[in-house]
Amino acid sequence: MKKPLIIGGIVALVVVLAGGGLILANQNDSKSTDSTATTSSDSMSSMKMSDSSSMGTTGDTATSKSIEIKSYAFNPASITVKKGTRVTWTNQDAVKHNVVTDTEGKGPNGELLAKGESFSYTFDEVGTFNYHCTPHPYMKAKVTVTE
């Protein structure tokens, strides 16, 4: 009556061996291949963006200026321009206005302008030119002309 014991022992051995085998298998599987991400520091800093040579025409060489006549006023009422600058006034009011120098014989002397009409005058002399609107003497403004 010793067979059951032997069988039992064999079974136990098999179980132990099987268990060991499983443990070993698990250990082998846990070999994680940690592929570290290769940081590719490929900086694209070689792009040249220092091209700032595009310079527009500066006010230094501007030869024309615009003045608006609106709401019974010259706008801007005071400007400074270089000698030789051509100034154009445009009337935006429904009422007629004009551009007339305060000093007779010196400066602009324009006709009455209807709405949308313009008058131009080129300042070839250095100095201060005060002007007004004949129908509305309180409309005053000036152009200062420099060398």
The residue ranges that bind Cu ion (CB under 5 A) are 97, 133, 135-136, 139
Rank residues 84 and 135 by Cβ distance to Cu ion and give the closer one: 135
CA distance 76 to 93: 15
Contact 138, 77 (CB under 8 A): no
- How many CB atoms lie under 10 A from the CB of residue 103? 11
Rank residues 65 and 97 by Cβ distance to Cu ion and give the closer one: 97
Question: Considering the complex, what minimum distance in angstroms separates the CB of residue 135 from Cu ion?
Answer: 5
Question: Considering the complex, what minimum distance in angstroms separates the CB of residue 98 from Cu ion?
Answer: 7
Question: Considering the complex, what minimum distance in angstroms separates the CB of residue 139 from Cu ion?
Answer: 5
Q: In what side-by-side order are the strands of the sheet with 78-82? A: 78-82, 140-146, 127-132, 100-101
Question: Considering the complex, what minimum distance in angstroms separates the CB of residue 133 from Cu ion?
Answer: 3
Token representation of residue 31: 């070999």
Contact 113, 49 (CB under 8 A): no
Rank residues 89 and 129 by Cβ distance to Cu ion and give the closer one: 89
In the numeric block, the tokens 């509305």 are attached to 136
Rank residues 82 and 102 by Cβ distance to Cu ion and give the closer one: 102
